[in-house]
Amino acid sequence: MKRAMPFMAISLKGISQVILIENVISGAIILLAITIASIPLGLITLLSAMIGTLIGKLGGADEKMLNQGLFNYNSVLTGMALFLLLTGSFHWVLSLIGAAIAAILTATLMHFMRYMKMPILTFPFIILTWFTLLVSYRLTAFHINDTLVPQSLKQWELDITGE
């Protein structure tokens, strides 16, 4: 129980970091609001934050940055985006896998960008989400949600044969 409290606190800070706040209570309020709007989305949000925390801890991340929730917010954003933007029987699994990949990509980019003293901000979330949305046009396991119709490339007559 003693270990679970700091783990949950870090996870909630990661949720609050999405709106640039490092606060456990703010993270809990944001999670509560998301859960009231959609219980499945609230669950994905919490699990994505926990995945980011777990990967940061297991990967030996900088303790100060980990405690600030900086390894979670890209996981939270990626998990939520993929859950909302994709359809299919296992789109929730893909959301959690995306959250894990976002945490790994966040740690990797933080490692390489520290020499240039450049923040990575939401770059891992943006790259992973866009890549997944573009790949969804070629895969049958999952597709883009129909709510994205105005932006859907399905309406465009694109020549993708490469000729």
pLDDT of residue 14: 94
pTM: 0.85
**Domains in the chain, please, with CATH?**
4-149 (1.10.3430.10)
Q: What is the pLDDT of residues 62-73, one digit of tens each?
A: 889 888 989 899
Return the HEC string of the chain. Answer: CCCHHHHHHHHHHHHHHCCCCCCHHHHHHHHHHHHHHCHHHHHHHHHHHHHHHHHHHHCCCCHHHHHCCCCCHHHHHHHHHHHHHEECCCHHHHHHHHHHHHHHHHHHHHHHHCCCCCCCCCHHHHHHHHHHHHHCCCCCCCEECHHHHHHCHHHCCCCCCCC
Mean pLDDT to the nearest integer, 134-162: 68
- Token look-up 């945490």 returns 103
Q: What is the pLDDT of residues 125-145, one digit of tens each?
A: 999 999 988 888 777 777 777
Mean pLDDT to the nearest integer, 132-160: 70
- Compute φ and ψ for 144, nearest 5 degrees: -70, 140
pLDDT of residue 127: 95
Region at 38 (left for phi over 0; alpha for psi -120 to 50; beta for the rest)? beta
Beta bridge partners of 86: 144
